[in-house]
A and B are shown apart, each in its own frame.
Chain A
């Protein structure tokens, strides 16, 4: 799908707390070096005791609205993608819409597609804006993801959110959403059943038939549909369940690994699930120059990928300075937890 819409505002939020992979490895008797090298993750973010997917979404949304510099009441749609919505039944989107002052004249719904619910929201927003059904749409990817104690996921499952305001006024668009392409199949690589506290996954099965097939399928599909090639892009942002998969995609597809690194945050903050590739996009939008092109491909288990061709405009440099806090601020401000405090923060003991 080609589009005349674009990003007019973007915002990030990552909690202050971190735990080092080394500390988790210590508890489970694993060799820290093997874990850090094997997963490519040094530390991950941990939500505060009073943070959840809704509060992270609100802060990211507030940042994105400052960049967009529009009245919140002009938002016609709010979509919140997450796999850790605070309620099983009761939307996160209403909490966010109310907190930013977008209610009551607004469409709102929660989305869920493992780690790609945020980019699914961007696509819905593009459709609503392009068809003139709304003036602006807000799409958010947010998560406080869960990893079973002792499981490999515990080293990566983290928390964060990214929000994007989508609009169509040319003079407001800071990055054009030129095209999007999705690649979706039913692939059971990762799931969490109703009432289950922790997700289950297919181990190695999450790699080749799941992550790589869909990420590469969507990226290749976008190239074919748009006639663009890898050489047309200055940055590549791929879903980042660990620090290694996105770099492997680059190698397999013959892409310049250096173009992947600026949007690769997992080594420092872990896998923020629905926030992961959207936060990678925020990192790139914070440094991109006008005219530079960004390719974004998300991945959600279950499984599917959304690919986007994005182009920074002249509006970007001034617009991004309006953010009360940029992503870099959240990356720099951190407090470390030991495993005991981490257990309390994530309420991993039954009695908590």
Chain B
């Protein structure tokens, strides 16, 4: 199923380069980006923030039954990555099998193809992570 073009386009900065936000009052980092600080409320001041792409595996799971469009990629690893700056993101761990992944293992951002709306649709790109070796 093809994702709406406007939704894809709006998310390009966060998907392509982990562009998030931070509250300059309490220094909390947000990913995906928030326009409002949930801690400081109206005292919060939000500005854009680029994440380094470094993180650790918080939890992970091997996917053996893929959603439509990702059938060729099974078995693949899906993980919750704890970014060095705080937030957690769910993303695929590339170029490895489930047995190579461990909780707390360091990972780094990679830019990969997320899915393509075949055969004539859009190609969606975004963040995934790779084990740091």
Q: Do residues A98 and B113 form an inter-chain contact, with CB atoms below 8 A?
A: no
- CB neighbours (8 Å) of A192 from chain B are none
B105 lies within 8 A of chain A by Cβ: no
Quote the shortest CB–CB distance from B14 to chain A (angstroms): 11
- CB neighbours (8 Å) of A50 from chain B are 73, 92, 94, 112-114, 128
A221 lies within 8 A of chain B by Cβ: no
B103 lies within 8 A of chain A by Cβ: no
Q: Do residues B111 and A55 form an inter-chain contact, with CB atoms below 8 A?
A: yes
B95 lies within 8 A of chain A by Cβ: yes
- Give the complex CA separation of A49 and B92 in angstroms: 13
- Give the complex CA separation of A54 and B92 in angstroms: 18
The contact string, 1 if C-beta is below 8 Å from chain A, for chain B 101-133, is 000000010111110000000010100100001
- Give the complex CA separation of A99 and B112 in angstroms: 11
A100 lies within 8 A of chain B by Cβ: yes
A95-B125 in contact given A49-B73, A50-B113, A51-B113 (Cβ < 8 Å): yes
- CB neighbours (8 Å) of A101 from chain B are 17, 19, 50
B12 lies within 8 A of chain A by Cβ: yes
Quote the shortest CB–CB distance from B26 to chain A (angstroms): 25
A16-B111 in contact given A49-B73, A101-B50 (Cβ < 8 Å): no
Pick from B72, B94, B95, B110: contact of A352, CB below 8 A: B72
A86-B123 in contact given A16-B95, A50-B114, A335-B95 (Cβ < 8 Å): yes
- Specify the chain A residue showing the minimal Cβ separation from B126: A99
Q: Do residues A100 and B123 form an inter-chain contact, with CB atoms below 8 A?
A: no
The contact string, 1 if C-beta is below 8 Å from chain A, for chain B 29-55, is 000000000000000000000100000
Quote the shortest CB–CB distance from A160 to chain B (angstroms): 15
Pick from B16, B108, B123, B133: contact of A99, CB below 8 A: B16
A28 lies within 8 A of chain B by Cβ: no
- CB neighbours (8 Å) of B123 from chain A are 52, 54, 86-87
Identify the B interface with A (CB < 8 A).
12-13, 16-17, 19, 50, 72-73, 92, 94-95, 108, 110-114, 123, 125, 128, 133
A-B contacts, 12 listed (Cβ < 8 Å)? A48-B95, A49-B72, A50-B113, A51-B113, A54-B123, A55-B110, A59-B111, A98-B12, A98-B16, A99-B17, A99-B125, A100-B17
Identify the A interface with B (CB < 8 A).
16-17, 48-52, 54-55, 58-59, 62, 86-87, 95, 98-101, 324, 333, 335, 344, 352
